[in-house]
């Protein structure tokens, strides 16, 4: 691909939100050792993408500017770097890009072979793109709360906050696969959806009872996958079982300190913070479940790369139901390879594809 260029969306510094995004034409990157070059089909936006732009992880991320954001991608292998034997040009794949170097909001991206899996034909690109970081975070949070997937669960009841979000909708489905009783919180418009994915009880977080997180059937939670923000320990504490554990996937200095205090004081009820630590086996496990139809990606909306700002704004707004997808493959390739099987609001897809 030497000398060829691609379209990409990147930013040159911290801040700026949607207006900080710049559409550029730049050289197609080359895969190095243990990397593969992908012609992208679809990518998913996650809150971490705009949080990095906002400077919430400064000075660690991004390591340098300009930076092309987005880590969750699907595409076709066009070139393999030295040392790669498991993929060849033409393979359809799902990948989790390196957070430090990212690169997903573009026509081509370099992926680490270790965090790339073949995309099964049953899984259309748009749905597959939603999986890597969101579903793996849901899986790791459930495991941290004590869930297992081999029938040896030590816990019974789980609470999932912000269950209508990108992580939460996978967490609900995975928790049911782990045979847990699931209580979930979301806004009223998503109650039926969250129930349809398996939640046993759903609380509208905007009602007084929902805000207290009380299980309608009086169950105490053995674990909490806490995807929302702004809920204090005093709200969780009375709802936890004796050894209940809250897994906070939005770590802050305050929650990390609180977590440490709970640990050193040998408190039975615990708060632990979790940051996704990508594991190839877990990505394979997730893709296998999706292939078998055991977990589904719910798509909030699909946007073209040229309208990446709309996808970015939608994520910043914080009210997506499921995943926000950016379609990279062109209409011709799209029609020869089903891009999406189901969508929450088919209207959202039609509108974005016709603009």
Is 301 a binder of ligand NAP (CB under 6 A)?
no
**Least distance from ligand NAP to the Cβ atom of residue 162, Å:** 4
Is 319 a binder of ligand NAP (CB under 6 A)?
yes
Nearer of residues 71 and 77 to ligand NAP, judged by Cβ: 71
The phi, psi pair for 236, rounded to 5°, reads -70, -45
**Least distance from ligand NAP to the Cβ atom of residue 219, Å:** 18
- Provide the CA 154 distance to its chain's centre, in angstroms: 26
Contact range with ligand NAP by CB under 6 A, out of 8-16, 77-85, 133-141, 263-271: 133-141
- Binders in 47-76 for ligand NAP, by CB under 6 A: 47-48, 51
- What is the DSSP track for 234-263? HHHGGGEEEEEEEEESS--HHHHHHHHHHH
**Least distance from ligand NAP to the Cβ atom of residue 46, Å:** 5
- Binders in 173-212 for ligand NAP, by CB under 6 A: 185-187, 205
User: What's the full length of the chain, in residues?
Assistant: 355
**Least distance from ligand NAP to the Cβ atom of residue 232, Å:** 12
Nearer of residues 167 and 271 to ligand NAP, judged by Cβ: 167
CA distance 259 to 238: 17
Specify burial of residue 268 (Cβ count, 10 A radius: 0-12, 13-18, 19+): exposed
Whether residue 37 contacts residue 87, with contact meaning beta carbons closer than 8 Å, is answered with no
H or E segment to which residue 185 belongs = strand 181-186
| Interface residue with ligand NAP, options 70, 227, 334, 343 (CB under 6 A) | 227
- Binders in 94-123 for ligand NAP, by CB under 6 A: none
Nearer of residues 37 and 227 to ligand NAP, judged by Cβ: 227
Whether residue 160 contacts residue 182, with contact meaning beta carbons closer than 8 Å, is answered with yes
Site map 140..169 versus ligand NAP, x via CB under 6 A = ---------------------xx-xxxxx-
The pair of three-digit structure tokens given for residue 284, joined into one six-digit string: 């394979």
Of the candidates 331, 348, 296, 258, the residue with the CA atom closest to the CA atom of residue 131: 296
Instruction: Please calculate the CA angle 84-85-86 and round it to the nearest 5 degrees.
Output: 100
Q: Which positions lie near ligand NAP, rule CB under 6 A?
A: 46-48, 51, 133-134, 137, 161-162, 164-168, 185-187, 205, 227-228, 249-250, 274-276, 315, 318-321
């Amino acid at each position: 691909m030497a000398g060829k260029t691609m379209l990409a969306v990147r930013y040159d510094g911290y801040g700026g939100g949607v207006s900080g995004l710049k559409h550029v034409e730049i050289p197609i990157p080359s895969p190095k050792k243990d990397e593969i070059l992908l012609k992208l089909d679809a990518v998913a936006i996650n809150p971490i993408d705009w949080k990095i732009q906002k400077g919430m992880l400064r000075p660690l991320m991004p390591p340098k500017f300009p930076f092309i954001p987005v880590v969750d991608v699907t595409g076709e292998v066009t070139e393999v770097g030295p040392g790669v034997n498991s993929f060849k040009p033409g393979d359809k794949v799902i990948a989790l890009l390196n957070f430090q170097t990212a690169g997903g909001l573009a026509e081509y991206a370099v992926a680490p072979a270790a965090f790339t899996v073949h995309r099964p034909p049953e899984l259309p690109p748009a749905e597959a793109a939603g999986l890597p970081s969101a579903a793996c975070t849901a899986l790791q949070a459930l495991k941290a709360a004590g869930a297992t997937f081999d029938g040896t669960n030590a816990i019974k009841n789980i609470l999932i906050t912000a269950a209508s979000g990108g992580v939460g909708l996978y967490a609900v489905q995975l928790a049911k696969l782990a045979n847990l009783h699931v209580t979930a919180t979301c806004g009223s418009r998503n109650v039926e959806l969250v129930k349809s994915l398996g939640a046993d009880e759903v609380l509208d977080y905007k009602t007084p009872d929902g805000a207290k997180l009380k299980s309608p059937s009086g169950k105490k939670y053995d674990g909490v996958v806490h995807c929302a923000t702004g809920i204090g320990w005093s709200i969780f504490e009375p709802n936890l079982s004796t050894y209940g554990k809250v897994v906070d996937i939005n770590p802050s200095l305050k929650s990390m300190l609180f977590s440490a205090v709970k640990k050193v004081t040998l408190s039975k009820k615990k708060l632990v913070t979790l940051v996704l630590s990508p594991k190839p086996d877990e990505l394979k496990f997730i893709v296998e479940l999706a292939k078998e139809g055991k977990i589904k990606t719910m798509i909030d909306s699909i946007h073209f790369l040229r309208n990446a700002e709309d996808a970015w704004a939608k994520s910043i707004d914080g009210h997506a139901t499921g995943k926000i997808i950016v379609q990279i493959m062109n209409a011709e390739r799209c029609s020869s390879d089903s891009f999406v099987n189901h969508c929450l609001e088919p209207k959202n897809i039609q509108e974005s594809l016709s603009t």
